[in-house]
Amino acid sequence: MRDGCDIESKRARRIQFVCLVTCPAGIDQLQRAHPDVPVIAAAIDPELNEFGFIVPGLGDVGDRYFGTG
């Protein structure tokens, strides 16, 4: 198991990572851990801020969704 992800033991033959928003640092980290997994993203924002949030990103989606913000 690598990075808390046990995809190898599941014997998956084709895995794709699909997301709404990512950034170059996230893509790099995923591809270092799983170079055979393609990344499909609706948007690639340019950077992370000092808190590790994607900038500009979507804002706090969890707070918006659950009305807790």
Global confidence as pTM: 0.68
* Identity of the residue numbered 32: R
DSSP 38: -
Mean pLDDT of the chain: 84
Q: pLDDT class for 10, splitting at 50, 70, 90?
A: confident
Six-digit token string for 57: 């990103």
Of residues 37 and 10, more confidently modeled: 37
Instruction: Specify the pairing of strand 54-55 against strand 47-48.
Output: antiparallel
Q: CA nearest 41: which of 16, 22, 24?
A: 22
CA torsion sign, 58 to 60 to 66 to 68? negative
